[in-house]
Structure 1
């Protein structure tokens, strides 16, 4: 399980490629995690925020993108540090000069979670092989 939720402020509409960002994060989880994240358990989604307050509320152009990742318990600390450093750097590079064009805060938080799941996607992926 690796689920990523990207929250982004509505004032960023059209300023970056949201679909590209979702695809980038999914690809990072699929292709650069050394199979630590099962492909069938990857979920990446975005939530456009219309109600928010940033900093001192004095600049309507202030914006943020926050990425929350939930994953199952038990991943090695060294893996987490290396993988999420690399993913954060990839996201920053993807956003490119957006940081220079406006006031923007980017954050990434990682949480280990236990939960209940029922997922037949794994079966479909295994049957393809």
Structure 2
């Protein structure tokens, strides 16, 4: 962990440039490698084809992100990281928002220590020697 998951409406697919968003999100998280292990970092997107926004009268769009992390980080760290990530999202989607109706949101989900099962040999590549 962490995992960054984005749901987005298909009416912004061509403009969303999600690979660039993920690159910027990863920079924020990698800069905090003492808090979040680089080998556990994942980003992915889910394109939504079936949705309705507001009253359905416009071609509204939305992007909702979820940051999933394991337990154990302080409230201060979680707040700081979430604010930094949401700033990246706002900057990334600012051009789309300037041209059309767009709702951005993000939430944090923190798993309990007993609530996850994982195996990962990628971490070994990033161990400091």
**TM-score in terms of structure 1 length:** 0.90
Query: 1:47 matched to which residue of 2?
Result: 46
Name structure 1 gaps, 5 residues minimum: none
Change (3 A) 1:121 1:34: closer
How far off its partner does 1:101 sit? 0.4
Instruction: Say yes or no: does 1:119 pair with 2:86.
Output: no
- Note the C-alpha offset of 1:19: 0.9
Instruction: Provide the rounded CA distance (Å) in 1 between the counterparts of 2:103 and 2:94.
Output: 13
Shift of 1:71: 0.3
TM score, norm. by length of structure 2? 0.90
Q: Tell me, in whole angstroms, the C-alpha distance in 2 between the residues paired with 1:3 and 1:34.
A: 14
Deviations 1:30-52 (Å, cap 9, x if unpaired)? Answer: 11x25200000100011111111
Please show how residues 28-67 of structure 1 align to structure 2 within 5 Å.
Answer: 28-31=28-31, 33=32, 35-59=34-58, 61-67=59-65
Q: For 1:34 and 1:4, how far apart are their aligned partners in 2?
A: 15
Deviation of 1:97 (Å): 2.1
Tell me what 1:25 maps to: 25
Query: Would you say how many aligned residue pairs link Structure 1 and Structure 2?
Result: 126
For structure 2, the 5+ residue unaligned runs are: none
RMSD: 1.5
Q: Deviations over 1:23-79 (max 9, x none)?
A: 111221111x252000001000111111111111111x2000110111001110011
